[in-house]
């Protein structure tokens, strides 16, 4: 256990699975009180129990971000759990809809992706960033994607939502930076989450991309978490509005 976030509280949305779990564990290992949030209470309890067993502190705030009322309730619960002083917001929760040809997208899926991937971060940030700004400090880290940087077949909906996240980061950096709140994005490339590693279809899609990366490999969730922690920490005090790719070099060579 180290102490970069000792005495601070971090809300990590979508932290009952995938990359979010790694982020929650990493914050806890650095001394933060982590607010674990997701739809599945059973998985959330396992995450918080695991953090406690490792000597960390975590509180489960169950939330289904497909409804505006739930997002507002999550913001209120997070501020209560933080004693009114939330220090870090990680907008990680997202509905992954890729690959998915545009012609196959149903209206309900489009609405759900726009709600979870764009509207929920906007509402949460709008509710929680002003409190950070009033105190003169805070960090918001959004999870973008390389899909939000380039055009990819079968990725129209997901790429649109992640491109919006990248744009929101720049706008929020301009809006909240002067008040001491830093806003940045981590943009993962192929990452071996349990969902990807356990899906033959997903692996078949990822393998050709890996062959084009300078690193020739996918990231591990813990590597994404390390980047999130860096941008949220005092080590990044003068970094505002940036998108940090953790993508094996994809963003450096994609136009080569």
Q: What is the pLDDT of residue 194?
A: 74
Give yes or no: 250 in active site: no
Q: Would residue 250 count as lying in a domain?
A: no
The confidence score (pLDDT) of residue 227 equals 98
pTM of the model: 0.94
CATH of the domain at 74: 3.40.50.720
Is residue 251 a part of any domain in this protein? no
Task: Specify the pLDDT at position 201.
Answer: 64
Active-site residue, selected from the candidate residues 5, 27, 158, 176: 158
Q: Give per-residue pLDDT as tens, 189-210.
A: 988 787 766 666 666 677 788 8
Query: Residue 144's domain spans which residues?
Result: 9-242
The 8 Å CB, 24+ separation contacts for 129-135 are 129/89, 129/172, 129/176, 129/181, 131/79, 131/84, 131/85, 131/86, 132/86, 132/87, 132/89, 132/176, 132/179, 132/180, 132/181, 133/176, 133/179, 133/180, 133/181, 134/179, 135/85, 135/180
Q: Is residue 205 part of a domain?
A: yes
Domain assignment of residue 256, yes or no: no
Is residue 235 assigned to a domain? yes
Q: For the chain of 256 residues, list the mean pLDDT of each consecutive stretch of 10.
A: 90 97 98 97 97 97 93 97 95 88 92 96 98 98 94 89 98 98 96 71 73 90 98 98 95 74
Q: Is residue 255 part of a domain?
A: no
Please report the pLDDT score of residue 88 as a whole number: 98
Domain count, the chain: 1
Residue 252 lies in a domain: no
What pLDDT score was predicted for residue 253?
87
Q: For 10-61, how does the pLDDT look when each residue is reduced to its tens digit (9 = 90+)? A: 999 999 999 999 999 999 999 999 999 999 999 999 999 999 999 999 999 9
State the chain's mean pLDDT as an integer: 93
Structural domain contains residue 249: no
């Amino acid at each position: 256990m180290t102490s970069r976030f000792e005495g601070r509280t971090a809300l990590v949305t979508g932290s009952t699975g995938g990359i979010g779990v790694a982020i929650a564990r990493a914050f806890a290992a650095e001394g933060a009180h982590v607010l674990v949030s997701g739809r599945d209470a059973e998985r959330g309890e396992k995450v918080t129990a695991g953090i406690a067993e490792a000597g960390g502190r975590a509180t489960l705030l169950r939330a289904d971000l497909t409804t505006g009322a739930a997002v507002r309730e999550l913001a209120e619960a997070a501020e209560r759990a933080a004693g009114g002083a939330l220090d870090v917001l990680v907008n990680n929760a997202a509905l992954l809809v890729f690959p998915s040809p545009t012609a196959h997208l149903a209206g309900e899926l489009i609405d759900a992706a726009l709600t979870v991937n764009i509207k929920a971060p906007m509402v949460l940030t709008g509710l929680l960033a002003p409190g950070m700004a009033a105190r003169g400090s805070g960090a918001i880290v959004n999870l973008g994607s390389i899909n939000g940087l380039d055009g990819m077949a079968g990725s129209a909906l997901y790429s649109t939502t992640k491109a919006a996240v990248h744009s929101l980061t720049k706008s929020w950096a301009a809006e909240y930076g002067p008040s001491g709140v830093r806003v940045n994005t981590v943009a993962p490339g192929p990452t071996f989450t349990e969902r990807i590693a356990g899906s033959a279809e997903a692996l078949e899609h990822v393998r050709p991309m890996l062959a084009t990366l300078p690193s020739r490999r996918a990231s591990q969730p813990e590597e994404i978490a390390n980047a999130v922690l860096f941008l949220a920490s005092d080590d990044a005090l003068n970094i505002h509005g940036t998108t940090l790719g953790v993508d094996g070099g994809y963003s450096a060579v994609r136009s080569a």
